[in-house]
Structure 1
Amino acid sequence: MRRSNWTPSIVPNDDQTVYLVADDFGRIGRAWREADLEATDLETVVQDLLSGEYSNPIRVVAFNTAERWSQDVSEDIAREVRQRCDLQLTDIPSQLQTFVDRHDGRDLKQLSLRSV
């Protein structure tokens, strides 16, 4: 018999890693974006980022309840976005530029060479 205060779990039933994107909506605030359960895998999230599905992403987290872990994967996602754009010889989409610059971790300063 069901209890009256029972609510269904939002935790995935199977052993899968879920990726969620936090987006900045400016004056109205920041939020974790709603996503279909089937659309929270790594490839879908990267494709959604590249296609402009997120207006101003600020963070990406991954978690796997079966394995009992969670992690900020923003740096990994930023590098993947940059790599895909580099391979396709395209610019990073403008809505992702700040995210990639913030999380990529690459030092983009040009080193000067000394004359001999």
Structure 2
Amino acid sequence: MTRAWTPSLVPDAGEQTVYLVLDCFDRAGCAWREADVAATDLETVIADLMSGQYNDPQRVIAFNTAERWADDVSEDVAREIRRRADRNYEDVTSSLDDFVLRHAGRERQLTLKLA
């Protein structure tokens, strides 16, 4: 007995790891944001988050169908956003600040001993 072929719902991204953002829109609810395949790499997603392209980001997931894995990378992305903002002496938007606090926690300030 032969099995019928079923097309994949996941676009063929080759060996690329795809990053998607769960974004919320007040009363309209939350959705995985639609994105062009070329704009689902980590660098583009971080740049889009930092430039305010998302309303209220909740989570970032990564998956690679060729390697057969998926993972919630929200904490890693939040830490990278904090690192880049600190490096560039920039503030992040309030919705992005909420995302960073939710996934990376509060920044700890080191204390200096004054002698």
TM (norm. structure 1) is: 0.83
**Within-5 A mapping of 1:1-116:** 9-105=9-105, 108=108
- Unmatched 5+ stretches in structure 1: 1-5
- Output the TM-score relative to the length of structure 2: 0.83
Equivalent-residue separation in structure 2 for 1:38 and 1:10 (angstroms): 14
Identity of aligned residues (%): 55
Deviation at 1:95, TM superposition (A): 2.1
CA distance 1:13–1:92, change in 2 (3 Å) = closer
Structure 2 stretches of 5 or more lacking a match? 1-5
CA distance in 1, matches of 2:54, 2:107: 25
1:81-115 CA-to-partner distances (Å, cap 9, x unmatched) read 0000000011122220110000014564878x8xx
Q: Deviations over 1:2-39 (max 9, x none)?
A: xxxx7574332411100000001111100000000000
Amino acid at match of 1:14: G
Change (3 A) 1:8 1:67: closer
